[in-house]
Structure 1
Amino acid sequence: MTILVEKPVLALEPKDVSNKDDSEKEMAAKNGFFAPEINSFGNSFRDYNAESARQSTVEEFYRLQHINQTYNFVKRMRAEYAKLNRMEMGIWECCELLNEVVDDSDPDLDEPQIMHLLQTAEAIRKDYPDEDWLHLTALIHDLGKVLLLPQFGGLPQWAVVGDTFPLGCAFDDSIVHNKVAKQNGTTLPPAALFIIRFHSFYPLHTAGAYKHLLNDEDAKSLNWLHIFNKYDLYSKSKDKIDIEKVKPYYMSLIEKYFPAKLKW
């Protein structure tokens, strides 16, 4: 039996909600998402030199990452985890596991990762209420962090989280602390998969490095990644999302775009 699922139609031009004047910022604060300038520790976002409670943890993380994240290591991990033989579970079950995970690479947040997923998704919903595929993309964009948990292999933080960078070529200066160093089936659009894979590739989407590695479809998806990045970064806060309140909405999106159970 063949089941046809209508794929989402992407807007031709992602709307620009940046560069607002003061009156627009007030309106955004009431009706949409307004990106703060300061994180919950009183510093600018992604300031890796600022003194904070997170600084030593983050610096040590990137030291280990740039030493150990080698080309051969990545090839081994890709081969190992491509087997999808760890377990079977639904998307929401996997999200709940991130209650146990705090990202050591993040200077802006020390909350469990499920809160980050929901903060990002809820922020995007405010500005893009009709793009449900983007809401779901935000919800699942960091699910790979379950690889830190014992049931998924218990990999060290340096092997799982942190900024993305290419191997087999020179480090670009935009890489953080650079001196140290589809089988499951989904109807999400290609832009969603691009966002999930490259949302932490800051040298690409923020510094503009490595664009020679993109094909035409990548270049189109990069526009949506630029949109997504604002919400991924600036929604991090100490404000808690009521998980049970928003759960039914995200469960409906999971049912729309994914099978009930996936292999992990």
Structure 2
Amino acid sequence: MSKVSKPKREGKLLENIDDDVMLINKLKQEVVKKSDTKIETEEFPDGEETANDDCTDKDDWKKDSGFYDGIDPKAFRQYELACDRVKDFYEEQHTKQTVAYNIQARINFKTRVRAKMTIWEGLEKLNKLLDESDPDTELSQIDHALQTAEAIRRDGKPRWFQLVGLIHDLGKLLYFFDSKGQWDVVGDTFPVGCKYSAKIIFPGSFQKNPDLKNPLYNTKYGIYQKHCGLDKVMLSWGHDEYMYHIAKLNSTLPQEALAMIRYHSFYPWHQEGAYTYLMDEHDKMMLEAVRAFNKYDLYSKIDENYNVDDLKKYYLELIDEYFPEKVIDF
């Protein structure tokens, strides 16, 4: 695999606000705890744990290579460094991500075909997005996808895990289709229809969200029930939810892979321990998978970048292995 020079900073389809959101999504919290660690949070008074003790030898994805053990977690997700544009973004997101909007977004997803193309064609289209303010990388979207996938491949993870690394951000294609702006494409995700957790970034910015004053939505459980399972919870609409539904409909990826795609921006849950009272037993297993993936998403940007042509054949075969219908309805 040959290194290539970093791409020139030319062109940009996302406004600067999205660049800053991408910056913020790589900053602050501590490194993901190992899978047998308890979630310790005042939001979960029942004293329940999220560790999964059902590990088997076939679960190679659970083995930690330790490659990123030397990473300084304080260099990531430092929200206190956020500029005004990032705070303005989250105020807009937190104001407009209502239950009503999320229901409509899902109706739109089920009733519209935005484009017909292969996964690789989607990656090439997404490659037009360039995060110009990211301090950790000047790479395009496809280069970040390859970095993540190659880091997972380097650590000997299963092929499906590698594919998740390649496609986890592919849902950002929403920006080219029927998104309303940045607020329903990028940013940390959170449940709608119940009380907003103090663990969400900038929790005070929900003040203008009409759901905050709706008695159906502003209690701890809201429209949900205790331990109902996250599959029954509406997370704020964006690239995670969009790509999760695309993969669920069109791929043979295992449940762990789908969880990695759906929850990788759900930082209040997988890093801060919020909303554990909505989890069921299945979610406890999926949390372990999301945490296993998260470090590759965050830390692979410090690794070398790769020549796309050198890797294309390998990943085309990998895509075909799990997406039997080559042309996908996006």
TM-score category, normalised to shorter length: 0.7 to 0.9
Task: Choose from 58, 64, 73 the match for 1:16.
Answer: 64
Letter in 2 for 1:46: R
Partner of 1:261: 327
Residues 101-137 of structure 1: CA distance to partner in whole angstroms, max 9, x if unpaired? 246997855643222222211111111x241100001
Measure the CA separation in 1 of the matches of 2:133 and 2:253.
28
Residues 184-231 of structure 1: CA distance to partner in whole angstroms, max 9, x if unpaired? 431110110111011110111111111222222222121111110111
Query: Is 1:50 aligned to residue 81 of structure 2?
Result: yes
Measure the CA separation in 1 of the matches of 2:146 and 2:85.
24
Percent of residue pairs bearing the same amino acid type: 41
Query: Is 1:243 aligned to residue 305 of structure 2?
Result: no
Instruction: Report the CA distance shift for 1:173/1:106 in structure 2 as closer, same or farther (over 3 A).
Output: farther
- Contact 1:57 1:104 (8 Å CA) reproduced: no
**1:154 Cα deviation (Å)?**
4.6
Matched position secondary structure for 2:251: coil
Letter in 2 for 1:37: D
Measure the CA separation in 2 of the matches of 1:139 and 1:103.
17
Measure the CA separation in 1 of the matches of 2:71 and 2:118.
33
Partner of 1:4: none
Matched position secondary structure for 1:180: helix
TM-score by length of 1: 0.79
- Contact 1:145 1:161 (8 Å CA) reproduced: yes
Partner of 1:190: 255
Measure the CA separation in 1 of the matches of 2:136 and 2:277.
30
Partner of 2:279: 214
Measure the CA separation in 2 of the matches of 1:57 and 1:10.
46
Instruction: Report the CA distance shift for 1:205/1:89 in structure 2 as closer, same or farther (over 3 A).
Output: same
Measure the CA separation in 2 of the matches of 1:165 and 1:109.
26
Specify every segment of 5 or more residues in structure 2 that has no aligned partner in the other structure, as ranges: 1-56, 207-244
Query: Is 1:36 aligned to residue 71 of structure 2?
Result: yes
Matched position secondary structure for 1:157: coil
Partner of 2:102: 74
Partner of 1:134: 161
Superposed CA RMSD in Å reads 2.6
Instruction: Report the CA distance shift for 1:237/1:61 in structure 2 as closer, same or farther (over 3 A).
Output: farther
Q: What is the aligned length?
A: 233
Measure the CA separation in 1 of the matches of 2:101 and 2:153.
37
Matches within 5 A, 1:71-110: 71-102=99-130
* Range with bigger deviation, 220-229 or 233-242: 233-242
Measure the CA separation in 1 of the matches of 2:279 and 2:200.
18
Instruction: Report the CA distance shift for 1:70/1:257 in structure 2 as closer, same or farther (over 3 A).
Output: same
Measure the CA separation in 2 of the matches of 1:224 and 1:135.
13
Partner of 2:212: none
Measure the CA separation in 2 of the matches of 1:116 and 1:156.
22
Letter in 2 for 1:222: L
Partner of 1:23: none
Task: Choose from 164, 176, 182 the match for 1:157.
Answer: 182
Partner of 2:231: none
